[in-house]
Amino acid sequence: MQRQIPRPAEILELARFKKPELNGRKRRLDAALTIHDLRVIAKRRTPRAVFDYTDGAAEGELSLARARQAFQDVEFHPSILRSVPGVDTSTTVFGGPSALPFGIAPTGFTRLMQTEGETAGAGAAGAAGIPFTLSTLGTASIETVKAASPTGRNWFQLYVMRDREISYGLTRRAAEAGFDTLFFTVDTPVAGARLRDKRNGFSIPPQLTPSTVLDTLPRPWWWWDFLTTPKLEFASLTSTGGTVGELLDSAMDPTIGFDDLAVIREMWPGKLVVKGVQTVEDARKLAGLGVDGIVLSNHGGRQLDRAPVPFHLLPRVVREVGADLEVAVDTGIMHGADIVAAVALGARFTLVGRAYLYGLMAGGREGVDRAVAILTDQIVRTMKLLQVSSLEELTPRHVTQLTRTTRVETSDQLV
Catalytic residues: 299
CA distances from 105 to 156, 196, 234, 383 (A): 10, 22, 17, 23
d(CA 226, CA 116): 10
Coil/strand/helix, residue 353: coil
Backbone angles phi, psi at 276, to 5 degrees: 115, 15
CA distances from 22 to 19, 25, 41 (A): 9, 9, 18
Residue 91, beta-bridge partner list: 98
Alpha-carbon gap, residue 376 to 99, rounded angstroms? 10
Please return the burial class of 75, using the count of CB atoms within 10 Å of its CB with bins 0-12, 13-18 and 19+: exposed
Q: Which amino acid belongs to residue 108?
A: G
Q: How far from 187 is each of 20, 144, 404, CA to CA, in Å?
A: 48, 27, 26
Question: DSSP assignment, residue 272?
Answer: E
**103 strand-pairing partners:** 351
Q: How far apart are alpha carbons 396 and 76 in whole angstroms? A: 10
